[in-house]
Amino acid sequence: MKPEIICPASGKPYCRGCLGPVYLCSPAKNVLCRKMGCGLQCHHTHNREYSVDGVPICPTPKMLELMDQ
């Protein structure tokens, strides 16, 4: 059995299929991205250091509330 991975944003186990917190991406900070779909299809990152403000858009406060029920 695989150990549960804890989300750094929520402190709860990852949801099924989750790759971790999602942030709005700052193209200027995201130096590793090839930017082929930047701003067109892609607006997000899993790397906090490449985010606009460091605040995850997923999980949302509503999702966290539902997880506590």
Entry pTM = 0.67
Domain count, the chain: 1
Q: What is the C-alpha to C-alpha distance for residues 29 and 23, in angstroms, rounded to an integer?
A: 12
Task: Report which of 53, 55, 54, 45 is spatially closest to residue 20, judged by C-alpha positions.
Answer: 45
Range of the domain at 14: 1-69
pLDDT higher than threshold 70 for residue 56: yes
Give the model confidence (pLDDT) of 4-46 as tens digits: 778 877 788 877 778 788 899 998 898 888 777 777 777 888 8
